[in-house]
Amino acid sequence: MNFNESEEIAALRETLRKFVSRECTPEAVGRWDREDHIPREMLLKLAELGLCGLCVPVEYGGLGRQVIALSVTVQELARGSTAIAGLYSMNASYGGLNISSCGTEEQKRRLLPGLLAGETIFAYGLSEPDVGADLAGVKTRAERRGDMVVVNGAKRWTSGATQADYIYTLVRSGPADARRQNLSFVLIPTGAAGVKLTKLKSMGNNGAALHDVTLENVEVPFANVIGGEAGWNHAWSMLAGPALEVEKLGPSSMALGLAEAALAEAWDYSQQRVQGGKRICGHQAVRHVLSDCQTKIQACRLMLHHAASLVEAGQPSALATSMAKLFVAENAKDIVLSCQQYVMGAYGYAQGFNMERYVRDVLAIPIYGGSSAIQRNNIANLLKLPRE
C-alpha cells in the first residue's frame, strides 16, 4: 500500500495547522482546560472550512466518505487542543457519520443540514453506571407508546452533554434476555423534560465536560428512533457495523495528534535547555529517548493511515482499526510520558508548559472508545485464536 499522502491531504494539513495556530492560542486552550468548556462557535469556524461534511454523502451536501481526511482533521486539531478535536468529533462523527449511515431519509433531510453548518452537536449516551464495554447489557429502557417513545434510565461518561443538542442514546427496547436483539438508538434532546445533566470532573480531556445523564419519563417522537421502524430493536447492527470502524479511528487520531504535539515541545525544549555546559539534546540519554519517540510516531502514522485507507476503500477493516486503536493509544501514552519524564523533567510536570496537559489528556485515550483490553480481545477473536 502507498502511504504517501495526496496533495489534497497535504493541503488539508496546512489549512488545519494555520487554523490551530490562529484559534488555539495558549490563552484560549488554557481557558478551555480550566473552565472545562469550549465555545460552540469554534465548530462554526470549522464548518466554514467545509470540515463538518467529511462523512456526509454528496447528495446531502457533504464531501462523501472521506475517512482519511476525517482522521487527519482530528489529529491536527488534537495537536492544538483535545477539546476542539472532541467538539468536532461530536458533530462530524457522532452526528454526521451516524445519521448518514443509519438514519432514515427523513432523518437525513431533517438533521444533516444543521450538522453540516456546524449548528448541531450530538453527544453519545452509551455507557451506564453499571455498563461499560458490554453495551449489550444496557438497562436504560424505552417503551413505545403510539407515535411516542418514553425513556427511563441513566447514562454515564457522556462527554459534552451541556453543549450538545441531542444525546445519541442506546436503550433497551425489548426483553433483556434477548440482549443484542432488543436494542435501539434514540435521539434525546438535551433540553427535553425529564433530562437531568450532572457534571463530572476528570483530571484531563477538559473542554467537553463529562456528565451523568438521568432520564425520567422522557418523551420523544418515534421519529427520533434512528432508522425508524427498521431500526427499532436493531441497534446492534448499527453499533457493530461499518460506523464502528470509523469511530475507532477517532481516539487513535487524537492520540497521534497529542503525541506529535508532546514530541514537538520536548524536541524544541531539548535544544534550549542547557545542562552540564551544553544543550541537553547533545546528551546521549536524551537523544535516545527522542529517537525512540520519533520512531514510534512514524509507526503510529503508518498504522493509522493503513486502517483509515481500508475503511475509506470499503475493505474489511475491523482487525486493522482494532490494532490501530491499541497500538497508537498505548504508544502515544508512552511517547508523552517519556517526553515529560526523561526530557523535560520537572518543567514537564509544572503548569506553564503544555506538557502537563498532554499527560493528563493522553492517559484517558487507552480507556475510552474501546479500551486496550477490549481491542486485544477483538484482535484475538478476529484472528480466530482458540479459547481452549
H-state helical runs in the chain: 7-23, 26-35, 41-48, 67-80, 82-91, 98-102, 105-116, 228-231, 235-239, 242-272, 284-312, 318-338, 355-362, 372-382
Distance of alpha carbon 145 from alpha carbon 222, whole angstroms: 9
| CA dist., res. 83 & res. 88, Å (int) | 9
Place of cell 486552550: 29
Handedness of CA 231, 323, 247, 117 (dihedral sign): negative
C-alpha cell at 71: 482522521
Distance CA 140, CA 188 (A): 13
Q: Please name the residues in contact with 229: beta carbons below 8 A apart, sequence gap of 6 or more.
A: none
**pLDDT tens digits for range 88-135:** 999 999 999 999 999 999 999 999 999 999 999 999 999 999 887 778
Specify the pLDDT at position 175: 87
231 burial level (CB within 10 Å; 0-12, 13-18, 19+): buried
The pairing of beta strand 166-172 with beta strand 183-189 = antiparallel
Asked whether the beta carbons of 258 and 78 are under 8 A apart, the reply is yes
Query: How far is the C-alpha of 186 from the C-alpha of 225, rounded, in Å?
Result: 4
| Residue in this structure with the C-alpha cell 417522537, named with its chain if needed | 221
- Rounded to whole angstroms, what are the CA distances from 278 to 67, 116, 282? 45, 52, 7
Residues contacting residue 385 through CB under 8 Å, at least 6 positions apart:
none
Residue at 180: amino acid letter: R
Whole-angstrom distance, CA of residue 279 vs CA of residue 291: 16
Q: Which of 34, 168, 203 is nearest to 89 (CA)?
A: 168
In the chain, the domains with their CATH numbers are 7-120 (1.10.540.10), 124-234 (2.40.110.10), 241-382 (1.20.140.10)
Tens digit of each residue's pLDDT, the chain (388 residues): 556 788 999 999 999 999 999 999 999 999 999 999 999 999 999 999 999 999 899 999 999 989 999 999 999 999 999 999 999 999 999 999 999 999 999 999 999 999 999 999 999 999 999 887 778 889 999 999 999 999 999 999 999 999 999 999 999 999 888 778 899 999 999 999 999 999 999 898 899 889 999 999 999 999 999 999 999 999 988 887 666 788 889 999 999 999 999 999 999 999 999 998 999 999 999 999 999 999 999 999 999 999 999 999 989 999 999 999 999 999 999 999 999 999 999 999 998 889 999 999 999 999 988 899 999 999 999 999 999 8
What are the backbone dihedrals phi and psi of residue 222, each rounded to the nearest 5 degrees, phi first? Answer: -60, -20
Angle of CA points 110, 239, 76, to nearest 5°: 75
What is the C-alpha separation between 341 and 343, in angstroms, rounded? 6
Rg of the chain in Å (alpha carbons):
21
